[in-house]
Amino acid sequence: MTANARLYPLFATIAIFIAAYAICWMQFPYMLSTRVVGNLLTDNAYLGIVAVGMTVVILSGGIDLSVGSVIAFSGVFISVVLRDTSLHPLVVFALLLSVTTAFGAFMGLIIHWLAMPAFIVTLAGMFLARGAAYMLTIDSVPIDHAFYEFIKDSYYLMPGKGRLTVIAVVMLLSVAFGALIAHRTRFGASVFALGGGVQTARLMGVNVGQTTVLVYAFSGFMAGLSGIVFSIYTGSGYPLATVGTELTAIAAVVIGGTILTGGAGYVVGTLFGVLTMGLIQTYIVFDGTLSSWWTKIVIGLLLLLFIVLQKGLLKLTGTQRDAALA
């Protein structure tokens, strides 16, 4: 895809988000309040964080189906360790991120070393992480710690009395960090090259094995961070939590303009994809007459729209390339 064509899906995502917000505002003027904006960021913080990791994976031409289970495992791990030990939550967070990052790196190593499809390896990872969560506990474990209360009570009061919470800030910083990694580093360049094809990446001098391991390690890290944020948001750990979140994250990435086959996309687009999905849910809550299932229906329609748009762009750029070569 040409440089300009790469921006089309991103522009389409931003345009859809702005148009959707305008429609919501015309029907419910209160939608422009900072309270709604703050809640929109807070309620979707965990999804935004894990979607950043998923964006890097998809940019590399891969997929990670384990992230939803890793989030659930993270919440259970934190709640059980805090319940059964006297460790400070920050120490538990560090331990957890080490485990989830190593888990992601291990999946990346298997994918490269055995030349197995990422779909199969991460599907196995999904069952492993969910099973590990059930081994720790089968019940919902509440988190009762002063540090958690401190985080929940810490926020910036925006004009209009909207609350910019700690977990919302963590999500925004994660997007900025992900954008920096993907678009301004050598590793990011290697990810995009890998998304264009393994053979092409090798010809460009990319260390395919190292890049693959780092991609899934990064996804594991972001899934663990998302689990921490989710545990703060819910105040508990539950092994059956976030079932299907991996598919929601993939949908957010695609709606955000990243090409599902890899090699093209922007992390900031994923943020708008997440916010668009959150906006749909917010509108349904404000309306009060629509079923929550309409969220799934609209997201499905948007997903189909962006897949068609991506297909059209691939054909367009292919035609332009053939014309230039002729």
Mean pLDDT per 10-residue segment, the chain (326 residues): 65 87 88 91 96 96 95 96 93 97 96 92 96 94 93 91 94 96 92 89 89 96 97 94 92 89 88 92 81 77 77 59 47
Question: How many helices (H) and strands (E) are present in the chain, helices listed first?
Answer: 14, 4
pTM of the shown model = 0.91
CB 33 within 8 A of CB 155: no
- Burial class (CB within 10 angstroms; exposed 0-12, middle 13-18, buried 19+) of 170: buried
As a whole number of angstroms, the distance between CA 69 and CA 71 comes to 5
Pair of tokens at residue 265:
């996309």
Secondary structure (3-state) at 163: strand
Which residues are registered as beta bridge partners of 156?
Answer: 164
CA torsion 284-289-292-294 (nearest 10°) is -80
- Kindly give the interhelix angle for 89-113 and 118-136, rounded to the nearest 10 degrees: 150
For 182, left (φ over 0), alpha (ψ -120 to 50), or beta?
A: alpha
To which residue do tokens 């009060």 refer? 288
CB 83 within 8 A of CB 142: no
Q: Output the CA torsion sign for 153, 148, 220, 250.
A: negative
The pLDDT score that the predictor gives to residue 325 is 43
Pair of tokens at residue 267:
């992390």
As a whole number of angstroms, the distance between CA 39 and CA 158 comes to 12
To which residue do tokens 């002063």 refer? 146
CB 83 within 8 A of CB 137: no
As a whole number of angstroms, the distance between CA 169 and CA 250 comes to 22
> pLDDT digits over 279-317, tens only?
988 888 887 777 777 777 888 887 887 777 766 665 655
The pLDDT score that the predictor gives to residue 313 is 64
The pLDDT score that the predictor gives to residue 69 is 96
As a whole number of angstroms, the distance between CA 253 and CA 51 comes to 6
The pLDDT score that the predictor gives to residue 274 is 94
Domains belonging to the chain, first-starting first, are 3-320 (1.10.3470)
Running DSSP on this structure, what letter comes out for residue 61? Answer: T
The pLDDT score that the predictor gives to residue 39 is 93
Pair of tokens at residue 300:
């499905």
Name, in order, each residue with C-beta under 8 angstroms of 159's C-beta and a sequence gap of 6 or more: 34
Secondary structure (3-state) at 161: coil
